[in-house]
Amino acid sequence: MHGDAASTIRNILVVDDDPSVLELMGEVLRGEGCNPLLASNPMEALTLAESKECSLAFLDIELPGMNGIELTGRLKAKDPHLDVVIMTGYGTLENAVQAIKIGVADFIRKPFSIEDVFMCLRRHWERQAFRERIRQAEQRYADLVQHAPMMIFSLRKDFGLGFVNRACRTVLGFDPSEVVDRAGWLLERVVEEDRDQFAMHVRGVFEGLGDAGFLECRLRHREGHVLHCLMKTFVPAASAKLERLKQLEGIAVDITDRVLLEKALVQKEKLKTLGAVAAEVAHEIRNPLVAIGGFARRLHSRYPEASEAAIILDECRRLERILDRIRNYLSPVDISLGKHAVEEILHRCKELMGLELERKGMRCRLEVEPGLEPLSVDANALLQVFINLVRNAIHAMQKGDELVVRAYRSAQYVMIRFQNPCRKPVAIHPDALFLPFDEGGQTIGLPLSYRLIRSMGGVLNFSWEEPYAVFTVSLPRFQEREAESYDSRLTPAEATKRP
């Protein structure tokens, strides 16, 4: 009669001390394709309910030893989803109120007809179908939230999370069970330089002094590397009318790849601008420099005791060396791209630099995410970059320090992070580290490294994360086209430095 709905209900419990009622209900339920579980007293009913699962029970309100209301409480304590129909020949308002409080689903008045029973069954099927639709909707919502490629969370005023989805594991490396209900956890993951801004934004929303909205900040992954994230906070609809907010809802999207792409474009334009400006500067300076140098040499030969001429000569030679570096930096030579495993190149670098590290009493720890795919790179050039970055770290470290090299991937890039202790913060702007004007030999490889990585479509960045200096090489996982010829050329002088 009721199709698939009825087929989902196997057992229906009927409890009445009147045998004729049990017999009638048994026939009606069997005719509906159900399996009636008939009991003449509450203890028998409890025994049947323990042994067999049922979703509907018809209970007489007047039973020996325990009335129907009390029996309902006992049955629903075992199965809160059980639908109970009270059968009664009389009733009081008190009984009705008590029955509703404990969750009675329906009433049927004695003497009842078969149609009354059918009516109760139909309402039960409808409730079952409605519950199933709710369950499926909740499941779809839960699946959507849990499988969304972004962190979805509930944030409390103490910066703890009341909820976070599974993306927490892929974005920050933490299982949700590790972080939920830990006071201050999200604020701890925000990079120190961004904490004040983040805390001010969240507190402002909680205290009604600011609006929820978008905020860009950096979060630290469990493994130590930094992610650029775009956060959106909003007030839950249910809390909008409350005087005091208990929690904010929010999402966090990893935009590291977008930031790296923007930096790659900026670096590309910087290289082009540097090339144009440096070539013009070198050309304009060299002619007067040659004249000044020649004049200083004649003065020095005529007046050898004059220290001023010697000083001018020394400065001219220094400027000539800078111009030579600029000329070499801009003179092109092709590099060769091919598919190579970054892990193998890193191990080769560690092997080559191991003796120097050991001699200085330093250590190098290499951590590579399993399964990194081969990248389109020049293996020799990339090895030269890694060696230059390790040498730069050795110069900054002291005996007993450890250099940590970690390779991992995002959706679009493979990142290789070189992190070393550094007692003194870098005094110059990070971008200046990659310019070809430095006189001190220790960083002479950084401009070369910068340009090599750019030639392979990647990005080389520096950041100061007290007390660590961090260089990060970001290489594209998917090479759509060969790098432009200007960006993929090196000088003959640089080429001879390759291992």
**Other Cβ atoms closer than 10 A to 430:** 13
What distance in Å separates the CA atoms of residue 385 and residue 228, rounded to the nearest whole number?
24
Topology adopted by domain 148-254: Beta-Lactamase (3.30.450)
Amino acid identity of residue 346, one-letter, is L
Question: Hey, what's the torsion of the CAs at 232, 461, 382, 479, to 10 degrees?
Answer: 40
How much is the pLDDT for 341?
94
Which helix (H) or strand (E) segment holds residue 147: the answer is helix 114-147
Domain ranges in the chain? 3-144, 148-254, 259-330, 338-495
Domain 3-144 indexed as CATH 3.40.50.2300: yes
Strands 247-254 and 226-234: antiparallel
pLDDT of residue 436: 57
Q: SS3 of 395, please?
A: helix
Helices (H), 234-341: 256-302, 307-330
Q: In residues, how long is the chain?
A: 499
Report the alpha-carbon distance of residue 229 to residue 251 in Å, rounded.
Answer: 10
Is residue 403 a contact partner of residue 393, using CB atoms and an 8 Å limit?
yes
Alpha-carbon distance of 455 to 452, in angstroms, equals 5
Please determine whether the domains at 3-144 and 338-495 fall in the same fold group of CATH: no
Q: Which fold has domain 338-495?
A: Heat Shock Protein 90 (3.30.565)
Q: Report how far residue 11's alpha carbon sits from residue 72's, in angstroms, rounded to the nearest whole number.
A: 17
pTM: 0.54
Give the residues across from 460 on adjacent strands. Answer: 473
Q: Which residues of the chain have pLDDT under 50?
A: 1-7, 9, 333, 439-444, 481-499
Q: How many CB atoms lie within 10 A of CB 308?
A: 11
Q: Could you tell me which residues come within 8 angstroms of residue 267 by beta carbon, excluding any fewer than 6 positions away?
A: 450, 454, 459, 460
Q: What is the pLDDT of residues 67-77, one digit of tens each?
A: 888 898 899 88
The whole-angstrom separation of Cα 341 and Cα 359 is 28
Q: What is the pLDDT of residue 498?
A: 40
Query: What is the predicted pLDDT for the residue at 414?
Result: 93
Question: What pLDDT, on the 0 to 100 scale, is given for residue 224?
Answer: 81
DSSP for residue 489: B
pLDDT of residue 403: 95
Q: What is the DSSP string of 46-87?
A: HHHHHHS--SEEEEESS-SSS-HHHHHHHHHHH-TT-EEEEE
**Residue type for 20, please?**
S
Straight-line distance from the first to the last Cα atom of the chain, in angstroms, rounded to the nearest whole number: 84
The backbone torsions φ and ψ at residue 253, rounded to the nearest 5 degrees and listed phi first, read -110, 130
Q: How many CA atoms lie within 13 A of 22 on its CB side?
A: 13
Contact 198, 212 (CB under 8 A): no
Report pLDDT for 38.
94
Tokens 């008590």 found at: 98
Dist. CA 436–CA 393, nearest whole Å:
19
Q: What is the Cα–Cα distance from 400 to 379, expressed in whole angstroms? A: 30
- Which pLDDT belongs to residue 219? 92
What's residue 4's pLDDT?
A: 43
Among 392, 387, 388, residue whose Cα is nearest residue 345: 387
The alpha carbon dihedral of 409, 410, 415, 421 has a sign of negative
Contacts of 191 (CB under 8 A, 6+ apart): 217, 218, 219, 220, 226, 465
Query: Is the backbone peptide bond immediately before 467 cis, with ω within 30 degrees of 0?
Result: yes
Contacts of 269 (CB under 8 A, 6+ apart): none
Helix (H), strand (E) at residue 119: helix 114-147
**Strands (DSSP E) found in 349-401:** 363-368, 375-377
CB 43 within 8 A of CB 35: no
SS3 content of the chain, % helix, strand, coil (to 5): 50, 20, 30
- Can the peptide bond before residue 19 be classed as cis, meaning omega within 30 degrees of 0? no
Find the helix packing angle between 42-51 and 68-78, rounded to 10°. 20
- Tell how far CA 16 is from the center of its chain: 59
Ramachandran assignment for 22, one of left (phi > 0), alpha (psi -120 to 50 degrees), beta (any other)? alpha
pLDDT given for residue 482 in this prediction: 41
